[in-house]
Amino acid sequence: MAHESGTPSNPATPLIPKAREGRAQHAAYVLLALCAAALYLAGEPVVHIARSFTSHFVALQIGALLKGICYLVEEIFHLETRHRGSFRRALSACLHLRWHVTLLLVCGSAYVALLDGDEQPLGLHLGLACLCQLLILALGLHKPSAVEISEMSERSKQNVAHGLAWSYYVGYLKIVLPRLKESMENIGRTNPNMLAHKETWKLHILVPLSCNICDDLEKADSNIQYAMDLPETTLTRAGTKKRVYRNTLYKIKDEDKFRFCVVEYATPLQSLYAMSQDECAAFSREDRIEQAKLFYRTLEEILQSAKECAGTYRLIVYEESGEAETHFLSREILRHLQQQRQEEYTVCDGTLCSTDLSLQISESDLPQPLRSDC
- Which CATH number is 259's domain given? 3.40.50.12100
Residue 374 lies in a domain: no
Lowest-pLDDT range, 7-11, 171-175, 199-203, 313-317?
7-11
Number of domain units in the chain: 2
Give residue 39's pLDDT. 74
- C-alpha torsion sign, points 164, 170, 171, 176: positive
- Phi/psi at 221 (nearest 5 deg)? -155, 120
Rounded Cα–Cα distance for residues 115 and 125 (Å) = 11
pLDDT of 8 reads 43
DSSP 20: P
> Rounded to the nearest 5°, which phi and psi values hold at 164?
-65, -40
Q: Is the distance from CB of 35 to CB of 28 less than 8 angstroms? A: no
Tell me which of 356 and 185 has the higher pLDDT. 185
Region 354-374 average pLDDT: 46
Residues 76 and 176 in one domain: no
Percentage of the chain modeled with pLDDT above 70: 76
> Cβ distance 29 to 78 under 8 Å?
no
Whether residue 264 is predicted with pLDDT greater than 90 in this model: the reply is yes
The string of DSSP codes covering 147-211 is HHHHHHHHHHT-SHHHHHHHHHIIIIIHHHHHHHHHHHHHHHHH-TTTT--GGG-SEEEEEETT-
Q: Is the CB of residue 314 less than 8 Å from the CB of residue 6?
A: no
Exposure letters 224-243 (e unless 16+ CB within 10 A, then b) = beebeebeebeeeeeeeeee
Torsion sign across C-alpha atoms 155, 157, 158, 162: positive
Can you tell me whether residue 221 is helix, strand or coil?
A: coil
pLDDT digits (tens, 9 = 90+) for 94-121: 887 777 677 777 777 776 766 665 555 6
Same domain, 53 and 110: yes
Each residue of 31-66: b (16+ CB within 10 Å) or e?
eeeeeeeeeeeeeeeeeeeebeebbebbbbbbbbbb
Ramachandran angles phi, psi of 319, nearest 5° = -120, 120
| Whether residues 239 and 122 fall in one domain | no
Residue 371 lies in a domain: no
Neighbours of 287 (CB within 10 A): 16
| pLDDT score at 141 | 66
Residue 87's domain comprises 23-137
The answer to the question of residue 241 being in a domain is yes
Residue 62 covered by a domain: yes
Residues 164 and 69 in one domain: no
Q: Are residues 186 and 250 in the same domain?
A: yes
Q: Of residues 40 and 221, which shows the higher confidence score? A: 221
In this structure, are 205 and 343 located in the same domain?
yes
Looking at the structure, do residues 300 and 186 belong to the same domain, yes or no? Answer: yes
Burial pattern 145-163, b for ≥16 Cβ within 10 A else e, equals eeeeebbeebeeeebbbbe
Other Cβ atoms less than 10 A from the Cβ of 245: the count is: 15
Predicted TM-score (pTM) of the model is: 0.66
- Same-domain status, 186 and 67: no
